[in-house]
Chains A and B, each alone.
Chain A
């Protein structure tokens, strides 16, 4: 008889809460079920409470890996971008979330890991390590990364400077980058408010770009970040004419 090998899950000896903290997470049907149910409810809420509207939906139709880049004013942004994806891609979509904010306290951890399948991104120290996790994810086709390159929620509703990490992630790689603009989320749920308000939210999805021909040195990386910021800003309703 040939040797019979087992392949235990990597997190067998961890406490359930710790299992959510680690990344990549092992598949868990309970988590998948809760996430799908949550996504369904969140979609209905967005459509009724915030009269959510998507423009340019066809730009997301791809089976290859995709990086979605958007402006960030509110927690609603992540939910909007996830709501634009088909439900079957939900468990392959990873919004990058600040590990210092979302992966410390347990209620936030539940929301981040179970509800939105967040990827813990260390934005202060070990940025390179986080970026390399992102690269590994993008290597499997069908992965969707959701990144807010401003690095934090905007306090004014304006689009801030994009960090150069987004450039380093996509420069020289054959991966589609879709710029998106989320309009109205600042009015709906600004930073510091406890509950969202019933304001209209609109998501504009731009045509995907590709930076496979660009070099990965500092000037190019910064240039890509600036270009992406312009691309996102261009999508702001009322800016199309420029």
Chain B
């Protein structure tokens, strides 16, 4: 991955056009709703402008190459983790926060450096990357011992471990995908598909939504929205088959399931956390979306599953 390759890569260019066209269509639909049907669309426009910003930043980062992508994903993971900490209150514990920050940075480092025993350079150190949770949990468990404290530490340890493994390491897989031979196809597909599935769930839920999906967790999600999103996610791999031409029907099917079901489970699992803490959004960083973590929740769940599924059938390199 590098700017020069990206410029000539048909997959990257195709995604750029697809996203441009979709954003234009969405803008036209919103404008139609607002100016012709005179509907109240202020909040939707806010979300829409933020989508444009997200798409722009995403394309620039992926365009810049492998290391910028990994650095970007690592920074995003650190910021999302910070939102989780601020919402749960663990942020007041500077030691735990520092330990997990260090762990997330190490995930980024493991994605950038290459296996010392491998001949190929710049491919990421897969073994170290996959082993990161063991090292990070060892570090997190060491903190209370170092400070000679026990009261309330189980709570801090638990929050730090779920924060590291879920937000730091699982989301870090997105950065590791940048090492794949087919990086543009995988990266663009997984980011684009989870985003589109989110929008599909929202739209289907808004139009057809009747039956609540999980009333105790997220009152606004409906079965209609979830099934509609699953339908979109199942069709999408076939439509965008050019991003992974070597996939057979079974892999395409699995990809659809991972994005369609995994993405929504990610959304719901962050909702469980928010519901228990008692906040509506994790933060107010992106206008119309909530926090960074509210935006990337489906990617956090789907990206590692997708990477390991692909890695099982076709080695990343």
Interface centre among A8, A14, A29, by most B CB within 10 Å?
A: A8
B282 CB within 8 Å of chain A: yes
Which of chain A's residues 26-77 have a Cβ closer than 8 Å to chain B? 26-27, 29
Q: Judge whether B277 and A13 touch: CB under 8 Å.
A: no
Residues of A within 8 A of B155 (CB): 4
Q: Judge whether B278 and A13 touch: CB under 8 Å.
A: no
Closest to A14 in B: B284
- Contacts known (A4-B155, A29-B97); A9 close to B91, Cβ less than 8 A: yes
Q: Judge whether A8 and B284 touch: CB under 8 Å.
A: no
Q: Judge whether B284 and A6 touch: CB under 8 Å.
A: no
The answer for the CA separation of A120 and B232 in the assembled complex, in Å, is: 51
The answer for the CA separation of A8 and B277 in the assembled complex, in Å, is: 8
Residues of A within 8 A of B277 (CB): 6, 8
The answer for the CA separation of A209 and B278 in the assembled complex, in Å, is: 48
How large, as a class, is the contact surface on chain B? 20 to 34
B87 CB within 8 Å of chain A: yes
B89 CB within 8 Å of chain A: yes
Closest to B89 in A: A7
Residues of B within 8 A of A26 (CB): 86, 91
Q: Judge whether A13 and B280 touch: CB under 8 Å.
A: yes
Residues of A within 8 A of B220 (CB): none
Residues of A within 8 A of B287 (CB): 15
A12 CB within 8 Å of chain B: yes
- Contacts known (A16-B285, A29-B94); A9 close to B280, Cβ less than 8 A: no
Interchain nearest-CB distance for A81 vs B (Å): 26
Q: Say what secondary structure dominates the interface of chain A.
A: loop
Q: Judge whether A12 and B279 touch: CB under 8 Å.
A: yes
- Contacts known (A13-B279, A13-B281, A14-B284); A8 close to B87, Cβ less than 8 A: yes
The answer for the CA separation of A9 and B277 in the assembled complex, in Å, is: 11
Tally chain A residues at the interface, Cβ within 8 Å: 13
Closest to B94 in A: A29
The answer for the CA separation of A6 and B156 in the assembled complex, in Å, is: 10
B88 CB within 8 Å of chain A: yes
Q: Judge whether A8 and B89 touch: CB under 8 Å.
A: yes
Interchain nearest-CB distance for A188 vs B (Å): 37
B147 CB within 8 Å of chain A: no
Interchain nearest-CB distance for B158 vs A (Å): 9
Q: Judge whether B97 and A8 touch: CB under 8 Å.
A: no
Q: Judge whether A8 and B280 touch: CB under 8 Å.
A: no
Q: A8-B86, A8-B279 given. 18 additional CB < 8 A pairs? A: A6-B89, A6-B276, A6-B278, A7-B92, A8-B87, A8-B89, A8-B278, A13-B279, A13-B281, A13-B283, A13-B284, A15-B285, A16-B284, A16-B285, A26-B86, A27-B94, A29-B94, A29-B97
Q: Measuring CB to CB, which residues of chain B are less than 8 angstroms from any residue of chain A?
A: 86-89, 91-92, 94, 97, 155, 276-285, 287
